[in-house]
Structure 1
Amino acid sequence: MEKFDKLTGVAAPLPIINIDTDMIIPKDYLKTIQRTGLGRGLFSEMRYREDGSDNPDFVLNKPAYKDATILVAGDNFGCGSSREHAPWALLDYGIRCVISTSFADIFYNNCFKNGILPVVVTPEELEKLLDDAGRGANATLSVDLEAQEIRGPDGGVIRFDIDPHRKHCLLNGLDDIGLTLEKAAAIDSFEGTMSAERPWT
């Protein structure tokens, strides 16, 4: 998993509440278990017209936001079904951080396992960040995980809380497999002992 330390990039405003995982990546894209290629389907029902052409009114189709790496979204982001394809699609598009006032639990957990930082802020802080993100090409935010700070284009600072273990995992690029491999020496030692004591197993 790619490490997350500091991220400076364009923030796209998506002030919609209850964005569920089907809105993030519709069920038509769930036929694959590959993590790549899903960026094309991200928000597809809002992003494309019925004929497949880009919807110019959708934020990620606007020139200023096509390369957004941060999403500032409404309350209860990632609700609905527990599909892990949702963070995969965000990551494949290039979104590394989602900021909202709250997240659905399963989506929130899946973000950390896939190298995305979900940041919880207050409603007042979200309004400020949505205003910052509304500046188009000047909507650059800086997210510092180590310092647990978001810096806006005008220099304002918002601090956020995060579980220390999850912070450690993101800073070091550790998913569940990575955490297990950190204990590889102890696992090898245990298996060696078991093989010596129980050669019949």
Structure 2
Amino acid sequence: DGHSIVEVVEESAPDYVFHLASQSFVPMSWRAPADTMETNAIGTIHLLEAVRQSKCDPVIQVTGSSEEYGMVYPDELPIRETNPLRPLSPYGVSKVAADKLGCQYHLSYGLKTVVTRAFNHTGPRRGDVFVTSNFAKQIAEIEKGLKEPIIYVGNLNAKRDFTDVRDVVKAYWLTVTDCEYGEVYNICSGETRTIQSVLDLLIGMTDKKVAIKQDLSRVRP
């Protein structure tokens, strides 16, 4: 809640704030759109208000998302920070709200905010609800004999830009130390991969023969 955040900010007096707290699983936002908006948008307001009311003056990294871009037409590629925002999910809408709040608090109150729009990232300890970890977990369970040799998938034709999470963290640090306040920065590799290619890569690491089966519950609306 807002009061507890005020207390934490005043006690810690941070030089930098990395606002990473969010409901970050896109499919969950369809099932709980109000909770997603509460966490991602209202939570951002609580943080920005806490800093505004405090005596400290930290640099604040506001974590947006590539999901803010949503519908992108072929003539708008590659995606730049100036692209129109057409979010296609409640999660994307919540991140647009957080993004614009970060910019607004800089313009209105002079807070040192920097907004990042990271594309997909993966790495150690990634939750198994996300596609790369989920595929890897299914394969590991097949290798250990814990499940039938079937990998359940969603839309394998979808294209994503993946970055190692450790590189994303380095980029976050650069945004608070070397970037302009009030600006927006994409964080990505600049290369797209199909989900099929990611699955093929992981299957190539096992000697088990597996079948692929689509699970429609894994396909986004």
TM-score by length of 2: 0.28
Structure scoring higher RCO (CA < 8 A, sep ≥ 6) equals 1
TM-score by length of 1: 0.29
Structure with greater helix share of residues: 2
